[in-house]
Structure 1
């Protein structure tokens, strides 16, 4: 039998990434937070936290927080069934920025209209979001990784198509003599953050260019990727969903049409997370089957 008062302390430390900030979340002293975490570790006979920066959970800590999140979800649904109308259901989710900027909110729209819930969205690269689920911080995530974690389930959503684009004036300035190793060493590229290696791999695999051999902006916003590209600040890999209008109007040109990148997306969630999560999972899968390619193009 788990002591949920102790698990609440562990959850607060992970969410706030600080014992001190966890005290404000739970309105108890820092020493009380430390005692509760240490007591929980003593009960299980091993550490549950890796006390570095960022603070992370051990594998057992991940399992405990995953269990804790599912219990919170089930309790919220029970309260709703008992007609406690003021009870809001917490829904912590992890999603990559490009999905959030394109299809994700539309997929949530039916439940946003019907349910009383509090969204807590963690935004990270699609290769990193699964870690949030494994740590117990979220109930579900959008990720590029197909393999599920213990106690979870995985559903294929479709492919995000990424096109390499630039404005006509940018092309005239940097690529008037073609897109090749030499011209790409002069033209500013873009990456999202230190975890985003899509553009790095794109140039390495197609043009044998190593990191550091070309100028590169770091832009931590999907919309800013598009805006900076439209402002002639660089060329970039963008989701087709995000730039369809700009492509149609000629504001952006797909400069390497034979080199589309297909990134598979999966929806991971904990098993037995309750009716709300089951409905959300159904809505996410159904919507993605309509808007995301389910197969890669034959020539790729």
Structure 2
């Protein structure tokens, strides 16, 4: 019968999920690969079931996610307690957060600035599509996330932040080259689009709903960087659905044109965080809510 938690074993589980490899996890903890395997096996034996889905990527199963979420919260509380007793030797507190690229490149860092200037924090940012950041938190890898999902995970809180607005933009040169006869199904079939990655379904849904164009019926760049996304558009390499945060100044300068001003996509954003994650998470949540209250459309 499982009666207590050996945090040495949970540390091994956490290392394997982070490193995605038993050998690298062993190096991380300065032990042998055999010791890592033995610790995972012992933990699974104590619980009477597997904790990892041994595939690529390595993923914790439902119970593994619960344990890792608990372990992350314990680390936060432990670091806060240690800092209370060592006022002159503040150790950095690890803060794993999952955030979408557009938020990270626009409002997220400014929202964190007060906390970064006051506290010793070691950020570990998982950058995913806003529909997938929630999975990082559910897996126990992140203590908090910015996500488009409203539903909270058991043991966590969900707060509405506001909307990210996306507008379809291109340069005057690109418009002259591809859209001189208007923006329609025919012109969009040959004009290069731009998406973030294979999980970026905003553009796919946009063309399907408004122009009856399915994925594969038009050329499309894949650019896994919000900044490069804008740069490629400014270089007249393609048109794109871009966060208003990132392109507003270029629209005002005339470098980019809003192609479809009547078609603005609004994606709701929510802040999810584990309950009982400590005072640092409470302060971080307050800072995020205060900043987005002022800067994100409601």
TM bucket normalised to smaller: over 0.9
Superposed CA deviations along residues 64-118 of structure 1, whole A, max 9, x for unmatched, are 0000000000001111111252411111111000000000000000000000111
Corresponding position: 1:130 with 2:134: yes
Structure 1 residue runs of 5 or longer lacking an equivalent are 295-300
Q: Give how far 1:199 is off.
A: 0.5
Residues 41-190 of structure 1: pairs in structure 2 closer than 5 A = 41-83=44-86, 85-190=89-194
Superposed CA deviations along residues 18-62 of structure 1, whole A, max 9, x for unmatched, are 111101100101110011001111111111000000001110000
Report what 1:215 is aligned to: 219
In 1, the alpha carbon distance for the partners of 2:31 and 2:136 equals: 25
Superposed CA deviations along residues 205-227 of structure 1, whole A, max 9, x for unmatched, are 00000111100000000001100
In 2, the alpha carbon distance for the partners of 1:31 and 1:155 equals: 43
Corresponding position: 1:20 with 2:35: no
In 2, the alpha carbon distance for the partners of 1:88 and 1:219 equals: 33
TM-score, normalised by the number of residues in structure 2: 0.98
Corresponding position: 1:36 with 2:39: yes
Q: Give how far 1:4 is off.
A: 0.2
- What do you get for the CA RMSD once the two structures are aligned? 0.7
Question: Equivalent residue of 2:252, what SS?
Answer: helix
Question: Equivalent residue of 1:162, what SS?
Answer: strand
TM-score, normalised by the number of residues in structure 1: 0.97
In 2, the alpha carbon distance for the partners of 1:87 and 1:79 equals: 8
Superposed CA deviations along residues 244-275 of structure 1, whole A, max 9, x for unmatched, are 11011111100001100000000011001000
Superposed CA deviations along residues 137-189 of structure 1, whole A, max 9, x for unmatched, are 11101011000111111010000000000001111110001000000001000
Structure 2 residue runs of 5 or longer lacking an equivalent are none
In 2, the alpha carbon distance for the partners of 1:146 and 1:156 equals: 8
Report what 1:274 is aligned to: 278
In 2, the alpha carbon distance for the partners of 1:222 and 1:239 equals: 9
Question: Equivalent residue of 2:177, what SS?
Answer: helix
Question: Equivalent residue of 2:112, what SS?
Answer: helix
In 2, the alpha carbon distance for the partners of 1:43 and 1:151 equals: 24
Equivalences, count:
294
In 1, the alpha carbon distance for the partners of 2:46 and 2:155 equals: 22
Question: Equivalent residue of 1:226, what SS?
Answer: helix
